[in-house]
Amino acid sequence: MTTHEHREDTRPEDYAGLAAVGPYGVRPGHALITMVEPHPGHEYAYNRWYEDDHYYAGAMAMPWMYAGRRWVATRELQELRYPEKSAVAQPVTAGCYLSTYWVTEGRYDEHMKWTVGINKRLNRDGRVYQDRTHVFTSFQDHEATVYRDGAAGPRDFHALDHPYAGLVLQVVDADGPERRAELLEWLRSRALPERLHGSPAAMVTVFRPTPLPGDRMTYVKQVEGVDTRLTLLWFLEADPRTCWDRFRGLDAEVAEAGAGRVELVAPFIPTVPGTDRYVGELR
């Protein structure tokens, strides 16, 4: 048997037809943002499963998911998080691993069909690690990207491949669905440009969560705050521990503007793929 022969009918002719139609730009129109807590005692096993299998088979090998990056919060980083009472993480230190993925704009529906199908297959084949909790997992639609340096530097579609030294996850809830557009405009035009100026953050991407499909895997809870929430990813050129003063007070800033409530500000650093670096520093 040659390498080009198939043991079963995998319908290769369908690929040519599918590739010939629909959007195929490079903009991150959608994202998967997933913050997960491995159960105590399962940190090493979880890390190896995710890096050796799931990051690829359950994410990057899928159509239209074209970039990904994994991040980790050591105990030292977890203890910088705020506010203490968070609607996202209980306790606020929960969720030591964060994975971020970009999905091609306009390809959300196609990607979701594939991801539900492949995850059902992985689960059936015993390739889903159960000793973990999804703290904050959702697909999200891109709303805005704000750059520190204007047209200079990497774009948002480069963000998960560029070697950024850190990331800050910020989750904000507007005071009701009718206020989210106002919150987004305030962030995009005023708050984010002011915070980015002269900071180690090169850009902030802003997303809003979308509801998960009804046929999602049962271990992933339905998304909260679909009508009110915005998720911000701050991409840093420095380790967040060296510049955390610049990220204090984001909750007070939003509250004073009457724009809503910050539910989480959480710093991360990138994992080193293929290694267990930082796993021993999670607790």
104 beta partners:
28
pTM of the model: 0.94
Q: Going by DSSP bridges, is the β-strand pair 229-236/166-173 parallel, antiparallel, or unpaired?
A: antiparallel
What CA–CA distance (Å, rounded) separates 87 from 166?
Answer: 23
For residue 268, the model assigns a pLDDT of: 99
Model confidence over 181-213: pLDDT tens digits?
999 999 999 999 999 999 999 999 999 999 877
Model confidence over 53-99: pLDDT tens digits?
999 999 999 999 999 999 999 999 999 999 999 999 999 999 999 99
Share of the chain above pLDDT 90, in %: 91
Domains and CATH numbers, the chain: 24-270 (3.30.70.100)
Residues 122 and 50 sit within 8 Å (Cβ to Cβ): no
For residue 160, the model assigns a pLDDT of: 98
For residue 279, the model assigns a pLDDT of: 98
Model confidence over 232-273: pLDDT tens digits?
999 999 999 999 999 999 999 999 999 999 999 999 999 999
